[in-house]
Amino acid sequence: MEIPHTVTPRKDNGLFNAKVGIWLFLASEVMLFGGLFSAYVFMRIYADYPWPERALPIVPGLINTFVLIGSSVTVVFAWASLKMRQWRRFQIFMAITIACAGIFMVLKAIEYKAKWDHQAVRVDDFTIVEGHVHYATILSNGKVEHFHTKKEAQEAGEKDAETANKVAEEKVTTAPKKKDEEFDGLGKADLWKAGKPFKANVVLFKPETIDFSVVRAHESWVNAMLEQAEKRKSRLVTARDLFIYGDIEDYSGTESEPMSSKARAEQEAQLVKKFAMADEKKDRKFGQNSLFIPAGTLLSYTLLEEAGKVFVAGRAHNAATRTTILKENWKKVKEKWPGDKYWEQASEARIDAATQLDEQVDEAGNCSAGSKVVSLVSTLSFKMDPPQPLIIKRSWIKRPVKEQDGKAELRDDTSLNAGEGEDAAPGLLESPLALSVDAIDFRWVAQKAEEAGNDPMEMIEQSWIFSKANKNGSTYRKIWKVHKKRIGQLEQSLIDKYGKDEEGKPRRVATETDRYRVTWQDFVHYARAEHDALMPGDSGFDDLRPKFWNGFAGPNHKDEEIHKLHAFPELEIPHHKVSLQSMFTPKWNTYYAIYFTLTGLHGLHVIGGAIVLSYYLFFSKGLYRRNPEWLANRVEVGGLFWHFVDLVWIFLFPILYLM
Amino acid sequence: MSDTPEEIKKAQKKYLLIGLILFVFTVVTVAVATVPWLDFGEHGFDARDATIGLVIATIKASLVGAIFMHLSHEKKTIYVLIVIGILMGISLMGLTGWAFQDPIEYGNSVEGDGFFNPEETVKQH
């Protein structure tokens, strides 16, 4: 069937079909992006933190703007070529357009990667620290070491494993009798393997015991801990025999034959014996809803799940029992005082006495009444044997751990406990967030100070980073001194240039960002100046400043000069001083949330457009032979979409990169 | 609409010129944001810089729309579609604006105007 109006215009509006279609679609796209731009404006006006103004490196965005504008020109040329029936020329221009889409996406990927690799920290006094997080590795002696790069950490770990295994092997050869049984805790088959290096923004905890909630334990966290324990030749086992009851029949006998707690203990002891002899300890069930967990049972998520089922059954039983008892009590009370109002009777109809009653043994020693509710076990405790450091992600933890706490509580109600005594596991290991700093931002400190009516500068200088508690403090005090001097010079130069108004106030002053943010350019600038023994105000000082086209996707920690000058100094922030840590991802703040939403959605449009344009380039020769005008119309429609994608970027670039 | 091959041949020069203008405007936007002596208004970024950046972006977007997307000589139906789309987009922004019209946070119609006033908010908190 012939489709009408693919080439010839419609009579009513003078347009071919696809054009009406694409414009309807673009109108809806205007609303989609309009809504998101509106969200940006809303968030920026309403931000309760200093907005990261002009925070992105300009160069990748600038190149991408050129690339998209260029591709807009080439796509219109491709269409024009088809109109003039020049197939070869169309191919060339279309290929350039698609190549531009590729370049755009590659640059975008580089930019995204840089964000993903860049650590941001909010110290608990609202100082913002940015930089490249260090890597750490756990050595065979249980110590943790920090390194600047992943490669260094990897190599150190491997070297340590090699030495450790050599020592262990020597021990075996010098004590040949013990060769197979003992190997300093290591069998020959399982030598120490270097662990994967990890980012030094985690919490390390060496627990004696770990308690898991049977109903809330998070499967992937449990498995992560198990995996780590296994890697470090440690096991997580239960320390003692444990019976958990979900059913009254196992716990307290039946209604007619109640069981005293003494009798229950005897029954339990028998069961322990029976289970000890049983080959297969896995079959732990002993009653309808009850579970026996013998000492030495290995942790697994399935075990927690089973215990969880028992807990839920027991809780349901207890609830039902309480309701029944309460109903019965009400009945009795009403019979006793038939005339009373119910609120007058309320204090009489209590359930506590009946449920708390554990056992009643009569004179003959027979049990006349057992407890009607079972005692619930909501946590299972496991011993770590031997204790080994576990890497705990910060996001798992309920609140920052302090050394004196002795335990770390995770958000799934897991509790990692330190041991007691000198030889016991210490619990929290010193696990500072270690990074090479490339920016410090005090704007939030200043904002908080102004809100409280304090002097911003005074508050900044009292912040932790400059304090004696920070072991790298002197480095930062020195940098701050240079920074303050440079800003002083800047303010002076602004006065010299623009003068003061009638009231004697400078017409132009340094911005908050100038004053309170030490950027990566500042760090490099001051390091160069120190190398050349220059101070702010000296001639040549200002020329040492990096330009905006330096640092393609942001500060480059691998840069040789920066490395040599040691421009990005180290910092170790104690775990409990960190109030928020994140890579430069949507989690960090609303700016990065909207940045990734807008550019991500735009990037998807680029990919979608490139796919459609590729279809025209690679699969449309046939249509060109049959009906070139139809193909030209198709390319025009695809081009309209492409121009729209360019148009969105024209707004995105200044809004996200320059404002 | 430039439909005949001759017209299109002529139009190509125009496309190239527009592309060039867009390149130049991009450079201007970046220069205004980075070069100190082109810094208007206060020192550093401020409302005036934002206005300049957005005005240039709007000019660029209009050029793309008018020339590359042929909106300078399009049929009526298309204009109707775009105008509806843009009006809808603007009203979406208006919807967000209403979020600020919160009498509890920003005062009621007797004391305040009920609309968002950043300075007032800072004072209150």
Res. B110 pLDDT band, cuts 50 70 90: very low
CB–CB contact B93 A31 (8 Å): no
What are the tens digits of pLDDT across the range B51-96?
999 999 999 999 999 999 999 888 898 999 999 988 988 888 777 6
The pLDDT of residue A281 is: 56
How are beta strands A209-213 and A415-417 bridged, if at all? antiparallel
The pLDDT of residue B125 is: 44
Res. B105 pLDDT band, cuts 50 70 90: low
Does residue A25 or residue A357 have the better pLDDT? A25
The pLDDT of residue A179 is: 46
What are the tens digits of pLDDT across the range B12-42?
999 999 999 999 999 999 998 888 888 887 7
Question: Which pair of tokens denotes residue B85?
Answer: 């789309």
Res. A327 pLDDT band, cuts 50 70 90: confident
The answer on pLDDT for A368 being more than 70 is no
The pLDDT of residue B124 is: 47
Q: Which amino acid is at A122?
A: R
B28 touches chain A (CB under 8 A): no
User: Nearest C-alpha of chain A: how many angstroms from B51?
Assistant: 10
For B:69-98, CB contacts with A below 8 A are: 69, 75-78, 81-82, 84-86, 88-90, 92-93, 95-96
User: Nearest C-alpha of chain A: how many angstroms from B107?
Assistant: 17
User: Nearest C-alpha of chain B: how many angstroms from A335?
Assistant: 55
Report the predicted TM-score, pTM, of the whole model to 2 decimal places.
Answer: 0.83
The answer on pLDDT for A70 being more than 60 is yes
Evaluate whether A613 touches A97 at the Cβ level (below 8 Å).
yes
| CA A173 – CA A390 distance, rounded (Å) | 32
Does residue B102 or residue B124 have the better pLDDT? B102
Q: Which amino acid is at A133?
A: V
Res. A296 pLDDT band, cuts 50 70 90: confident
| Closest chain A CA to residue B76 | A13
How are beta strands A367-370 and A359-361 bridged, if at all? antiparallel
The pLDDT of residue B104 is: 62
- The residue to which tokens 């399935």 are assigned: A302
The answer on pLDDT for A216 being more than 80 is yes
Is the backbone peptide bond immediately before A386 cis, with ω within 30 degrees of 0?
A: yes
Read off φ and ψ for residue B65, nearest 5 degrees: -65, -50
Collect all residues of chain A within an 8 Å Cβ-Cβ radius of residue B76: 13
| Closest chain A CA to residue B121 | A46
How are beta strands A517-518 and A433-441 bridged, if at all? antiparallel
B18, B44, B84: residue with CB nearest A27: B84
What are the tens digits of pLDDT across the range A222-253?
999 999 998 888 899 998 888 888 887 777 77
CB–CB contact B92 A19 (8 Å): no
Percent of chain A with pLDDT over 70: 93
Q: What is the mean pLDDT of chain A?
A: 88
User: Nearest C-alpha of chain B: how many angstroms from A33?
Assistant: 8
In the A/B pair of chains, how many CB contacts fall below 8 A? Answer: 156
With the C-alpha atoms ordered A269, A274, A277, A283, is the resulting torsion angle positive or negative?
A: negative
Cα A576 to Cα A389, A407, A592, A633: the distances in Å are 18, 13, 25, 63
CB–CB contact B49 A659 (8 Å): yes
The answer on pLDDT for B109 being more than 50 is no
Q: Of the candidates A71, A60, A72, which has an alpha carbon nearest to the alpha carbon of residue A107?
A: A60
Evaluate whether A394 touches A121 at the Cβ level (below 8 Å).
no
Collect all residues of chain A within an 8 Å Cβ-Cβ radius of residue B12: 77, 80
For A:72-91, CB contacts with B below 8 A are: 72-73, 76-77, 80, 83-85
Cα A482 to Cα A478, A485, A489, A532: the distances in Å are 7, 5, 11, 14
User: Nearest C-alpha of chain A: how many angstroms from B69?
Assistant: 6
ipTM for the complex? 0.84
Q: Dump strand ranges (E) for A111-161.
A: 119-123, 128-133, 135-138, 144-147
Of A150-154, A235-239, A332-336, A380-384, the one with minimum mean pLDDT is: A332-336
Percent of chain A with pLDDT over 90: 54
- The residue to which tokens 């069981």 are assigned: A259
Res. A353 pLDDT band, cuts 50 70 90: low
Collect all residues of chain A within an 8 Å Cβ-Cβ radius of residue B49: 659
- The residue to which tokens 């193909």 are assigned: A631
The pLDDT of residue A143 is: 81
